[in-house]
Amino acid sequence: MPIDYAARRSRIAPALGLTDEVLVAGAGSPIPKPEISDALLPYIAHQEYYYLAGHADAPGGIIAYDAKTREWTSFVPEVSEMDRVWDGAVQLPGELLPNFPAWLAARKDRKVANLGASIAGVAADAALTARVRDALRHARRPKEAGELELMKRAAIATAEGYAAVQPFLKAGVSERRMQIELEAGFFRGGGDKTGYDTIVGVGPQAAVFHGSPSTERVAQEADFILIDAGAQVERYVIDVTRTYVAGGKPGGFQRDLYAAVKNAHARACARCVSGAEWKDIHFGAATDMIGSLVDMGLMKGNASSLVEREAHMLFYPHGVGHMVGLGVRDGSGLEPGRTKDPRPCLQSLRMDLILRPGYTVTIEPGLYMIPALLNDPARREKFRDAVNWTMAEQHLHVGGVRIEDNLLVTDSAPLNLTAAIPQQF
């Protein structure tokens, strides 16, 4: 089902709260590579422009809205003969960009909100821009049918990649080789690109959240292998994490750590219902996992009390997830009228929202043995009674476990868009 961008703009406009102001959204311009050549970095139109205009390749493009007349106008770059010859470009529909200054001058006495990339010659009202940006972000959180179709296609491609990498999850295989097989599977499955830079970490590297795959790091027998990756289809992204054990034979501590995350993940997924508070889902996952660490003997005390003390940050220092869709952080942020919760344990929680039907979110709890945190003298002193430090030291090399799926909130039970990607055990 193709996305009807004209219908989308008609739906979105009333939600922006504009009366007689002007809204413009810029696509942005290509960026030259930092070298002596005429080559450019891969061009990506600004997300806000793309959402409203639907043009993925319109360098310098502008979508404009006159709230007084309730009319949208798309200004697009003119395709030159050189563009046609060298790049096979075709002319997009709309007004040509040279006509934009006259359009804007005819509305010179009205406030302007500038979304997307900044536009030369536009004197934007900063407060209006911020308010309209928040309104647009909130209005586009529920996914349309066409968006969900693209995400489901991306999920199919992602599942193909995770299936392709399975024979390579063993000792002697490098992170880079795993990445190559995984991403080739994405493309064979219909993905356009990867949704973000693929993360593959073996052994201790499994506790590095944004680690880049290396040819030098090679899995050893019984290492954790953490893969965080997803395919993209027409700018819509799937974001999945799975944790495996090289050779498939985990040790006792590894099995317990994995079970702790798996159980918390399942409970957090089930909590993704309409009306749920995201912070409650986050703290619920933290309490579940810390309770498991207490049962394992790694932590000491009552799980809820340990979370209140923020002791969970030693092993679970990130949020439970975020929104996903048009980009890997699509629509995250705050519920209208809320301000950022100042508690240190929530600084990396990417959203504070009430879940509603149509929202697509990631659920990605994790537990990690991170030397930078567990060897910190200040933390050791603060939580000296909360951790079995001898046990922690014995397992500093283990790495970590994260399990991540993409959930669609509905009027009833949540739908797991990535359920076809199996967990190892």
pLDDT tens for 272-304 read: 999 999 999 999 999 999 999 999 999 999 999
Is beta strand 62-66 parallel, antiparallel or unpaired with respect to 22-26? antiparallel
Predicted local confidence at residue 393, as pLDDT: 97
- Edge-first strand order for the sheet with 360-363 is 360-363, 405-408, 415-416
For residue 1, pLDDT over 80 is answered with no
CA–CA separation, 167 vs 247, rounded Å? 10
Is beta strand 236-237 parallel, antiparallel or unpaired with respect to 240-245? unpaired
Is beta strand 360-363 parallel, antiparallel or unpaired with respect to 240-245? unpaired
Is beta strand 236-237 parallel, antiparallel or unpaired with respect to 351-352? unpaired
pTM beyond 0.75: the answer is yes
Predicted local confidence at residue 325, as pLDDT: 97
Cβ atoms within 10 Å of 373's Cβ, excluding its own: 15
CA neighbor of 263 nearest in space, from 297, 294, 229, 286: 286
Residue pLDDT, tens place only, 22-78: 999 999 999 999 988 888 888 999 999 999 999 999 999 999 999 999 999 999 999
Predicted local confidence at residue 293, as pLDDT: 98
CA–CA separation, 392 vs 396, rounded Å? 6
How much of the chain, in percent, has pLDDT values that exceed 70? 100
Predicted local confidence at residue 342, as pLDDT: 95
| Mean pLDDT rounded to a whole number for the chain | 96
For residue 130, pLDDT over 90 is answered with yes
In the numeric block, the tokens 């199996």 are attached to: 422
For residue 81, pLDDT over 90 is answered with no
Query: Tokens for 359?
Result: 């929202």
Buried b (16+ CB within 10 A) or exposed e, 285-309: bbbbbbbbbbebebbeeebeebbee
Residue 211 or 152, more confident: 152
CA neighbor of 291 nearest in space, from 318, 316, 320: 316
Contacts of 69 (CB under 8 A, 6+ apart): none
CA–CA separation, 158 vs 152, rounded Å? 10
Q: In which element (H, E) is residue 281 found?
A: helix 278-296
Query: Tokens for 77?
Result: 């770059």
Do the beta carbons of residue 246 and residue 225 sit within 8 Å? yes
pLDDT band per the 50, 70, 90 thresholds, residue 425: confident
What would the mean pLDDT of 351-372 be, rounded to a whole number? 98
Dihedral of the alpha carbons of 44, 50, 55, 58, in degrees to the nearest 10 = -50
* Straight-line distance from the first to the last Cα atom of the chain, in angstroms, rounded to the nearest whole number: 36
